[in-house]
Amino acid sequence: MESRVAVIAIIVQDSSSAVSINALLHEYDQYIIGRMGIPYRTKGISIINIAIDAPQDAINRLAGGIGRLSGVSAKTVYAPA
């Protein structure tokens, strides 16, 4: 299966979801190129960016799983195929 390169942008408003986010990221760690997390204390949120190289269905499952968590939103941007 062909892989795609993408970035998943995650905004965390509910810090209690952090354990679930990390568990999901651990499931897909073989595909993750890099990760950057920034706590934005002034606004009470965390911003996480995940660079990933994986089959498109794996990227969709990961982003969907993260986006379904309480207090979390996620959007994916794909590199041109």
Q: pLDDT tens-digit profile of 13-25?
A: 999 999 999 999 9
What are the tens digits of pLDDT across the range 31-53? Answer: 999 999 999 999 999 999 999 99
pLDDT at 1: 77
DSSP state for residue 16 in the 8-state scheme: G
Average pLDDT, the chain: 96
Q: Which domains does the chain have, with CATH numbers?
A: 3-78 (3.30.70.1150)
53 neighbors 4 (Cβ within 8 angstroms): yes
Whole-prediction pTM = 0.93
Nearest partner of 76 among 46, 42, 53, 43, judged by Cα: 53
Confidence band, pLDDT 50/70/90 cuts, at residue 81: confident
Q: In this structure, what DSSP letter does residue 31 have?
A: T
